Amino acid sequence: MLVLPFHCGLITRNTMLRQSTQQKLLQKLSPQQIQLMKLLQIPTANLEERIKEELEENPALEFELDTPTTDQDTYELDDAPANNEDGEEQLEDVELSNDTAEKVDLDDFLRREDDESTGYDYSDDYYSGGSEERTVTPARVETSFHDYLLDQLGMLELDDRRHRIAEQIIGSLDEDGYLRREASSIADDLAFGQNIETSIEEINELILEIQLFDPPGICVWTLQECLILQLKRMPDSKPVRDAIKVLDKYFNEFTKKHYDKIQKYLELNDEAFKGVINSIIKLNPKPGAAYTVVNKAESYIIPDFFVYNNNGIPEITLNSKNAPELRISEGYREMMKAYDRSEKKNKNQKETVLFIKQKLDAAKWFIDAIKQRQHTLLHTMQAIIEFQKEFFVTGDETTLKPMILKDIAATTSLDISTVSRVANSKYVQTEYGTYKLKFFFSEALHTDNGEEVSTREVKTILHEMISAENKRKPLSDEHLTDMLMEKGYNIARRTVAKYREQLNIPVARLRKEL
C-alpha cells in the first residue's frame, strides 16, 4: 500500500488596523451649568435646606451679616454671571493681592484643621443670620392610627400569646384601616417572625374583635365590607337595613350608579330610595385616614413669585427666599492672602492652601449659581407675564392665549429644557390665586372663524357647562360637543372626553345624582 504524504497549509490573513482622525462637535455642560440646572429644579420650599447643606459642607461659604462688604461680596439681583465665548459661566478667581489687613498665621490653621471648631458655626442661629432669642415651642405629640388601636387592644382580656397575635393583625393594617394581608399570610408571619403557632380560625376570631374598635369600618379587606361594617354599627332602622341590602346584594350596580335597577329591585319610592343612598354616601371609605399624621409643612405651597396689579400693569417680585445673602468667608480670604505674603512655603502649607482654594472656588461657583438662578427665574416669569398680560390684569382664565415652552424659550433665548425646569416646579401668587407656572402653558385650538384659542379656555368653558348641568340628567360627551360647537369651538367628541378626563370629571352616568 502506497502512502502518499499529506501536507496541511495554514493561510494567515493579516488584518490591517486603520486609524483615522474624525472631528466631532460635542456639547458638554460645565460643572457650574450642571449645578445651575439642579438648583433650577429645586422649589423655594426646598432651596433653604439645599443652601444649609452647602453651608455645612463648605466652611468658605457663609451668610451675609451686618458687616461691611466689598464689591466682590455684593451680588445684585439684576446682575447675572458673565458668559465666555463658549456660553459657559466666567468665574472670577479669588483675589490674592496684599492689602492692609491683619496678617493671619497659616500655621495656626494647620494646627486647627482637625479641630471640630474651625471658626464655622453649624448652629441654626448662625444659619438664620442673627442671634435673636427664640422661644422653642414643644412639638405636639399626635397619636398615630396604629397607636390608637393598640390602646384599645389593651382593654381586651387576652393572654400574652393572643395579644401578640392581635398586635400582628393591627400591624398588618394600612393607613386607611384596611387589611392588606390574608389570614394565612399573617399566620406565616407569626410562625417565622415570632415563633407563634396559630390557625386561620383563631386569627379570624381576633379580626372580629378588632372590627369592634373605633373608628368603625376598620380591619377589613374590601370597601364593601368597610361600608357594611359601618352601617351595622349605626342604630337599627329601615333605611339602614335597606342600605345594608344595597351594599350586600347590589354593590356592583351601586358603584356604577345604576340607581334605577336598584330602586326597582328594592321596590322603594323615590323619597325612600334617596334616603337609602344618602345614608351610604355619608359613610367613610377610609376610616383610618383621619388618624394619619400629616406633615403640614409639605402641604403648604410656597410661591416663588408674587405678581401685583398696579393700575393695569403687572409687577413681579421674587420670593426673598430665592435671593439669600451669601458671601465668601473673609477668614478664608485672609488665609490665602497670608500664604501669598509668606516667604516660607512648605509642603503642608501648600496642601492646606490647595484645600482652601478648592473651597473658595466652590463657594464662588455656588453664589454665582444662586445668582444665575434668580436671573433665570425672573427672566422666565417676566416673559410669561408679557405673554399672558390680560390674565394677570383681569384674572379671567378664558383670556389665556395659546402658549408653549418654545414660545417662552424664543423670547428669553433660553433652552426649552431650562424653561421646562422652571415651569414644572415653580408657583406664582396673584390677586386671583396661586398657580403653577405650567398652568399658563396650553396648545392652540381653532374656532370656526379661524381664530386660535387656548385649550385652557375650552376646558374652562367645559367645566362651567358640567357645573351648571342638571345632576339628575347629566350631559353626555356628545351633548357637550354639540354645545361647544354652538359656541364656535370646532372640537371632536373624543377631544371633549380627553379634556373631561384631564379635569378629573367622570362620565355622565357617574355624575348622576338623585
User: Which residue, 341, 420, 342, is CA-closest to 384?
Assistant: 420
User: Which residue, 485, 380, 364, is CA-closest to 428?
Assistant: 380
Question: Is the bond leading into 31 cis (omega within 30 degrees of zero)?
Answer: no
- For residue 61, what is the DSSP state? E
Q: Is 156 exposed, middle or buried (0-12, 13-18, 19+ CB in 10 A)?
A: middle
- Residue 281 has a pLDDT of 86
C-alpha cell at 457: 379656555
Using CA atoms, how far residue 319 sits from 382, 429, 431, in Å, is 14, 10, 16
- For residue 116, what is the DSSP state? S
d(CA 321, CA 140): 27
Q: Are residues 224 and 247 in contact, defined by beta-carbon separation less than 8 angstroms?
A: yes
- Residue 129 has a pLDDT of 39
d(CA 492, CA 489): 9
Residue-wise pLDDT tens for the chain (514 aa)? 444 444 445 444 555 567 777 777 666 666 667 767 777 777 777 788 888 888 888 887 887 654 443 333 333 334 444 444 444 434 344 443 333 333 334 444 444 444 433 333 333 333 333 333 433 334 444 568 888 899 899 888 888 999 999 999 998 998 888 998 899 999 998 889 888 898 999 999 999 999 999 989 999 999 999 999 999 998 888 888 888 998 988 888 888 888 888 888 888 888 888 888 888 888 898 898 877 655 444 457 888 899 998 888 889 888 877 767 788 877 777 777 776 666 666 677 777 778 878 888 888 888 888 888 888 889 999 999 999 998 898 888 878 888 888 889 999 998 888 888 888 888 999 988 899 888 888 877 766 666 667 777 788 888 888 888 888 888 888 888 888 888 888 888 888 888 888 888 888 877 877 6
Q: Is 494 exposed, middle or buried (0-12, 13-18, 19+ CB in 10 A)?
A: exposed
Residue in the block written with cell 415652552: 405
Please report the beta strands in 202-292, taking only residues with DSSP state E, as ranges in sequence order.
none
Q: Per residue in 70-100, is it b (16+ CB within 10 Å) or e — as a string? A: eeebebeeeebbeeeeeeebebeebeeeeee
- For residue 403, what is the DSSP state? B
- Residue 56 has a pLDDT of 83
User: Which residue, 241, 223, 221, is CA-closest to 231?
Assistant: 241
d(CA 472, CA 129): 61
Q: Are residues 318 and 377 in contact, defined by beta-carbon separation less than 8 angstroms?
A: yes
The CATH number corresponding to 444-511 among 1.20.140.10, 3.40.630.10, 1.10.390.10, 1.10.10.60 equals 1.10.10.60
Counting every residue written for the chain, the total comes to 514
- For residue 135, what is the DSSP state? P
User: Which residue, 248, 249, 211, 246, is CA-closest to 230?
Assistant: 211
Secondary element (H or E) of residue 341? helix 330-341
Q: What is the largest CA-CA distance in the chain?
A: 119
Q: Are residues 229 and 220 in contact, defined by beta-carbon separation less than 8 angstroms?
A: yes
Residue in the block written with cell 439642579: 38
C-alpha cell at 153: 387592644
Give the count of beta carbons closer than 10 Å to the beta carbon of residue 453.
20
Using CA atoms, how far residue 468 sits from 51, 281, 463, in Å, is 49, 22, 9
Q: Are residues 340 and 98 in contact, defined by beta-carbon separation less than 8 angstroms?
A: yes
Q: Are residues 319 and 56 in contact, defined by beta-carbon separation less than 8 angstroms?
A: no
- Residue 165 has a pLDDT of 92
Residue in the block written with cell 450642571: 34
Strand partners, 427: 436
In the chain, where are the structural domains located?
A: 34-64+296-392, 145-210, 223-291, 444-511
Q: What are phi and psi of 85, to 5 degrees?
A: -65, -25
Give the amino acid at 233: R
Rg (CA), the chain: 35
d(CA 458, CA 443): 11
Q: Are residues 334 and 104 in contact, defined by beta-carbon separation less than 8 angstroms?
A: yes
d(CA 333, CA 60): 9
Enter the pTM of the model: 0.52
d(CA 89, CA 309): 35
- Residue 96 has a pLDDT of 38
